[in-house]
Every structure is written in structure tokens, then in C-alpha cells.
Structure 1
Amino acid sequence: MNQNLILIADDDADVRDMLTVSLEAAGYRALGAKDGHTAARILTVAKPIGMITDVRMPAMNGMELCQLARSNPAIRDMAILMVSGNNHAYDVDAGLISGADGYLPKPLSPKQLVAELQTLISRRHLGV
């Protein structure tokens, strides 16, 4: 896995930019993808330690992307944080069942997102 590299998969450029700035301020490097297919290609090449993915994206949604990542032995251990405006219990459950380690509602708090991602990465690194 590529230490300090986080993939941001979100079709909203403003969200990708905001998350990139927040992650870089916390010492991470960030790559952005505007859809699920682009994110899937980046995952297999870059092998990040974590991914933040929106649920609703063109080409491949976040749940499909999450399932794809969890099925790939080279990247299945990375931390995955799902974000969405869909915040009903059903949506959260579906995101977690698809393989996400955590699920945060939009609009996002950058500080909360970075803290949550750091916790997930630490847990994955420690095998918790």
C-alpha cells in the first residue's frame, strides 16, 4: 500500500477540492476521481491506504466501488470511508454491508472526516 495516499472518489469537484485541502493539511497526499470507473483504475495502480467515496456517482456507484476494492487482495485492507447525502438507516447499513469501514453524512465537517479516516487507518494498520 502507498503510505499517506488517500483516494477521493466524488463526482462533485468542489467536494474533491475541499477534501484534498483538508487531507493535505493533515499530512496525507490525495488523488481525486470524478466517477467510480476512474477510481477503480486508480485503486489498482496507486494502492492507497484509504479511500473516501461518495455513494452516488456516475459510471459506478460508491457501493459497487467498495465491493470491488474489498474483492481485490492487493487493496482490500485499505480503510474506506463512505460519504453521502443519503443518511437514512437503510442507506448507512447498505454502505457498511458493501464493505465501508465508516459512513459520514453530507454536508461534511472536514475535521471530523480527517479524524474518522485517521482512526480507520490506524485500526486497519493494527489489524483491529
Structure 2
Amino acid sequence: MAKNIYLTTAEEKLAHLIWRHAPLTSPDLVTLAEREMDWKKSTTYTVLKKLCDKGIFKNDHANVTILLTQDELIAHQSRRYVEDTFGGSLPKFITSFFGGKKLTPTQAAELRRLIDEHEKGDVNG
């Protein structure tokens, strides 16, 4: 996945609705969007098409399925942010993120655990 995926506010709202209820039919999605967000059918289908074009969902014969989970999208966006803003340097990102603040012992232990897992290759996903 080479391109950056940005979601508009409307796309985020519909994506969260789909992630909570998928798989579902597109008519069911229209009903949910109307009930939960007061959207018209045309709005739902327009935004759904944009999300499908971005490779997040698939609408095949009125069946909406997930191609990219919320966690996968966040991971992709996070990696792209570090690449674009910090030249791919995770240490530079972490230094900037903490901005001189001290780590709590719990945060430090969690970071050590994550580093150990990734060095050993014991990572799920």
C-alpha cells in the first residue's frame, strides 16, 4: 500500500459505522446511516463509493465487506506520518513525541517489551 489514505469527516463517520456492523448489505447500511447520522441514501452511496475507491471496503452485489480494518488503517497512516515527517526515523518521532517529558516506568517497560518483540520477530500482525 504505497499511497497515503486520508479520510474526510464524512468518510470517517461512515467507516466507523461499517466497521461496527460489517458485513452488511448496502441497503442495510443506508438504513443505519439514515437512523444514526440522518443521511440520505445518495449521501451514503457517494461516501461508500469513495471509501471503496480508497481500498478500505468493498461493495460487491450490494454486500459491503471490510478490506482494511480500523487498526490496519491507523497503522498505515502512522507509518506514513513517520516516513513523511521524520524521514522514517522512529527514534526521531519518539523524541519529538515525548518532547522532553519523562517516561513513566509502565511506559518504559511497555516500550522495552515492544522493542524486544520486534527484534525477535515475535509480533502478531
Query: Which bracket does the TM-score occupy, shorter chain normalised?
Result: under 0.3
* Higher CA-based Rg: 2
Higher strand share: 1
After TM superposition, the score normalised by the length of structure 2 is 0.26
After TM superposition, the score normalised by the length of structure 1 is 0.26
Higher helix share: 2
If asked which structure has higher relative contact order (CA below 8 Å, sep 6+), I would say 1
